[in-house]
């Protein structure tokens, strides 16, 4: 898992076609804007797990940890926003 820190207005680009932008932070809530092709299905994690769209995370899964500058980030990104 790659963990990033972003400020309001900053973006994360995934695979050259998906953009996540932090639009607002209030207390412990983060509002994210997602720009992606219509062919990409976008679901909140808890909705995907309930519907069976994606398997639940495995508790013993191996994590991938990388150190990179904010300017050159690629790979999988997980953002937990409530």
**Domain ranges across the chain:** 11-51
pTM of the model: 0.59
Q: What is the dihedral of CA 29, 49, 20, 64, to 10 degrees?
A: 100
Helix and strand numbers, DSSP H then E, in the chain: 1, 3
What is the average pLDDT score of the chain?
Answer: 77
Mean pLDDT of 24-42: 94
- In sequence order, which ranges of 1-82 are alpha helices (DSSP H)? 45-51
- Per the listing, tokens 């398997």 go with 55
Residues 11-27 pLDDT 10s: 999 999 999 999 999 99
Which tokens sit at 62? 């191996």
What's the average model confidence in pLDDT over 51-58?
67
């Amino acid at each position: 898992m790659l963990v990033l820190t972003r400020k309001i207005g900053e973006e994360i680009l995934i695979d050259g076609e998906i953009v996540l932008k932090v639009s607002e932070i209030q207390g412990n809530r983060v509002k994210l804007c997602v720009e992606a092709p219509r062919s990409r299905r976008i679901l909140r994690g808890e909705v995907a797990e309930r519907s069976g769209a994606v398997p639940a995370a495995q508790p013993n899964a191996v994590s991938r940890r990388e150190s990179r500058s904010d300017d050159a980030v690629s790979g999988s990104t997980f953002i937990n926003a409530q």
